Chains A and B, each alone.
Chain A
Amino acid sequence: MTAPQTAAAIQGWYTLDDRPQLIGSRCLTCGTYFFPRQGFFCRNPECPGETFAEVKLSRTGKVWSYTNACYQPPPPYVAAVPFVPFAIAAVELAAERMIVLGQVSEGVDVADLHVGMDMELVLEPLYRDGGQEKLIWKWKPVRGGQ
């Protein structure tokens, strides 16, 4: 039996379908969202909640800010040889009122980004482990978006 060709780089943090979503949780008592998932006690100090529903977060949002990584990050980042710089975006999700960081889709440069830009979540390879591509969430400008 051969291993599947792709797998999540961080297991259980996002769906692996064509329209991927981050997997968070929502407090059943106060309604606060959490990413990554919170499963024991609600972190809202006003809330005694201890029960949560797993929720898929909005897969689109607007750029809060952006930058890039020109130097190779240290492990546990697994860098390609030679290292290829990549852009990074902090994207604000409207319903969750939360900002989520992530790499920007391959080939998109900081010059292509601006604050307020519409972005959507995609899955792309983070690194290759043997024959298997390890997938991570990335932010990608929405075609025809603002």
Chain B
Amino acid sequence: MSREVAVLGVGMHPWGKWGRNFVEYGVHAARAALADAGIAWKDVQFISGAATMRCGYPGYVAGATFAQALGWQGAQVNTSYAACASGSQALAAARAQILSGGCDVALVVGADTTPKGFLAPAAGYRPEDPDWVRFHVGITNPTYFALYARRRMDLYGATVDDFTAVKLKNAAHGAENPNARYRKRFTAEEVNTSAMVADPLRLLHVCATSDGGAAIVLSSLDYARRRGGQAAPRIAAISTVTPRFASTEVEMPDIATDSAAVAAGHSFRASLAARAYEEAGIGPADLSLAEVYDLAASMELDWYEYIGLCKSGEAEGLLRSGATSLGGRIPVNASGGLACFGEAVPAQALAQVCELVWQLRGQAGARQVQDARVGITANQGLFGHGSAVLVKR
């Protein structure tokens, strides 16, 4: 039995800081995806929402919230929360429902409305919550990004100019993306003179938080075939694995790593893509493009290695060769990435998949990757969550 499902439609609400209810973005994206698929909402049998923690109870039950806003029609419903991987888990739930024969057509939706500035934890004295502890000590998300960046500089000779080059590359890609929030082609001087956030990372190296929404219509391959038309891109793998003990990389929001005194050490982020490749029988050499989580420009370089585009320590060379720019051998973040979108947590992993689908259909306009056949997404967030999705045509 094939473990693949078809992507019939994708849609987004443009990213920005619109300040409106997240439900509006989700419904906008859902309607766009349904129209793209040529499917009526009443024919959707399973709706899977990616939850948001910042919009009250409707956010915790996002699947039902979107279903009600679209109009209750008796679909089976699911909501997934997995920090930055929420969209991928919602996607995985829909895929599982299709593959188990529970439905033919599913709609996956994620949307968020974000506050200004740092994403902060709940109040009180709560030392049992690692997220509370690290903020109390003064450790924010950019702290972690900067620790990884400094580590690359020390181990591999990365320079601030490399991080800036990632930002400039993604800004050039995103300038061509109507769904991106930032469409400006920055100069190196603008990036390198923006305010220092967490040395060596400056404001324009670090991604913003954004409002936005993304949606995907999935179906069984049989259903897609019966509808005829152009062969739809297929989801070949979804990896949402946990870390393995001992996880020896400094990970948000922990104040300390696991101890590898007894158990062998493992890299969480490398395991995400590895599992997806294993499931699909696809390797890094098969890729046409990748969408990776550039929470900071420097982290895009980490992902080159974690998804197997090059060996550890070779990411700077790959970047400098131009291979990861549009027109290069393996364009990364052709969408513009988080550098141009900012992060709308429950929508972001779905937005990555939307970009792959447009690319594989040849509908990406000025940012089109030539003859795109296989793409991978990779993302990672708090509390041991992350994902990688392989899409092929």
Partner of A88, one of B138, B201, B256: B138
Top 6 A-B residue pairs of the complex, sorted by shortest distance between their CB atoms: A67-B146, A74-B120, A115-B154, A33-B259, A65-B147, A97-B260
Least distance between A1 CB and chain B CB atoms (Å): 23
Least distance between A64 CB and chain B CB atoms (Å): 7
Residues of B within 8 Å of A44, CB to CB, are: 245-246, 262-263
Q: Using CB atoms and an 8 Å cutoff, list the residues of chain A in contact with chain B.
A: 9-11, 13, 30-36, 43-47, 64-71, 73-78, 86, 88, 90, 95-103, 110, 114-115, 126, 136
Residues of B within 8 Å of A13, CB to CB, are: 127
Residues of A within 8 Å of B54, CB to CB, are: none
Residues of A within 8 Å of B140, CB to CB, are: 69, 71, 73-74
Determine whether the beta carbon of A73 is less than 8 Å from that of B147. no
Determine whether the beta carbon of B262 is less than 8 Å from that of A30. yes
Determine whether the beta carbon of A86 is less than 8 Å from that of B138. yes
Determine whether the beta carbon of A77 is less than 8 Å from that of B138. yes
A32 to B136: give the CA distance in the assembly, Å: 26
A66 to B245: give the CA distance in the assembly, Å: 24
Identify the closest chain B residue to A78 (Cβ): B136
- What string of 1s and 0s marks CB contacts (under 8 Å) between B78-120 and chain A? 0000000000000000000000000000000000000001101
Once A74-B120, A74-B135, A114-B154 are accepted as A-B contacts, the answer to whether A10 and B250 lie under 8 Å apart by CB is no
- What string of 1s and 0s marks CB contacts (under 8 Å) between B183-204 and chain A? 0000000000001111111000
A70 to B197: give the CA distance in the assembly, Å: 5
Known: A66-B147, A101-B143. 6 other contacts (CB 8 A): A32-B262, A35-B256, A67-B200, A68-B199, A69-B139, A74-B120
A134 to B371: give the CA distance in the assembly, Å: 60
Determine whether the beta carbon of B138 is less than 8 Å from that of A103. yes
CB of B1 within 8 Å of the partner chain: no
A100 to B248: give the CA distance in the assembly, Å: 11
Partner of A96, one of B151, B200, B261: B261
Once A68-B199, A74-B118, A77-B138 are accepted as A-B contacts, the answer to whether A100 and B151 lie under 8 Å apart by CB is no
Once A64-B250, A67-B199, A73-B140 are accepted as A-B contacts, the answer to whether A98 and B120 lie under 8 Å apart by CB is no
CB of B148 within 8 Å of the partner chain: yes
Partner of B139, one of A9, A36, A43, A73: A73
CB of B267 within 8 Å of the partner chain: no
Least distance between B113 CB and chain A CB atoms (Å): 18
Q: List 22 A-B contacts (CB under 8 A).
A: A10-B127, A31-B262, A32-B246, A36-B127, A36-B133, A64-B147, A67-B200, A70-B196, A74-B135, A76-B135, A77-B137, A77-B138, A90-B147, A96-B261, A97-B265, A98-B258, A98-B260, A98-B261, A101-B250, A110-B199, A115-B150, A115-B151
CB of B308 within 8 Å of the partner chain: no
A86 to B162: give the CA distance in the assembly, Å: 25
Partner of B259, one of A10, A34, A76: A34
A90 to B14: give the CA distance in the assembly, Å: 38
Identify the closest chain B residue to A33 (Cβ): B259
Least distance between B390 CB and chain A CB atoms (Å): 27
A9 to B250: give the CA distance in the assembly, Å: 23
Partner of B135, one of A9, A30, A73, A98: A73
Partner of B118, one of A45, A67, A73: A73
CB of B255 within 8 Å of the partner chain: yes
CB of B132 within 8 Å of the partner chain: yes
A103 to B136: give the CA distance in the assembly, Å: 11
Determine whether the beta carbon of A67 is less than 8 Å from that of B138. no
Residues of A within 8 Å of B118, CB to CB, are: 71, 73-74
Once A45-B245, A76-B123 are accepted as A-B contacts, the answer to whether A67 and B135 lie under 8 Å apart by CB is no
Determine whether the beta carbon of A102 is less than 8 Å from that of B137. yes
A101 to B255: give the CA distance in the assembly, Å: 5
Determine whether the beta carbon of B121 is less than 8 Å from that of A76. yes
A8 to B134: give the CA distance in the assembly, Å: 15
Determine whether the beta carbon of B150 is less than 8 Å from that of A136. no
- What string of 1s and 0s marks CB contacts (under 8 Å) between B135-163 and chain A? 11111101100111111001100000000
Residues of A within 8 Å of B246, CB to CB, are: 32, 44, 97
A46 to B262: give the CA distance in the assembly, Å: 10
Determine whether the beta carbon of A9 is less than 8 Å from that of B259. no
A36 to B255: give the CA distance in the assembly, Å: 8
Residues of B within 8 Å of A75, CB to CB, are: 120, 123, 135
A11 to B245: give the CA distance in the assembly, Å: 27
User: Which residue, of B155, B200, B262, has the highest number of chain A Cβ atoms within 10 A?
Assistant: B262
User: Which residue, of A35, A47, A76, A78, has the highest number of chain B Cβ atoms within 10 A?
Assistant: A76
Once A70-B195, A97-B260 are accepted as A-B contacts, the answer to whether A88 and B245 lie under 8 Å apart by CB is no
Once A65-B147, A67-B147 are accepted as A-B contacts, the answer to whether A101 and B137 lie under 8 Å apart by CB is yes
A65 to B198: give the CA distance in the assembly, Å: 12
Residues of B within 8 Å of A86, CB to CB, are: 138
A103 to B158: give the CA distance in the assembly, Å: 24
Least distance between A7 CB and chain B CB atoms (Å): 13
Determine whether the beta carbon of B261 is less than 8 Å from that of A33. yes
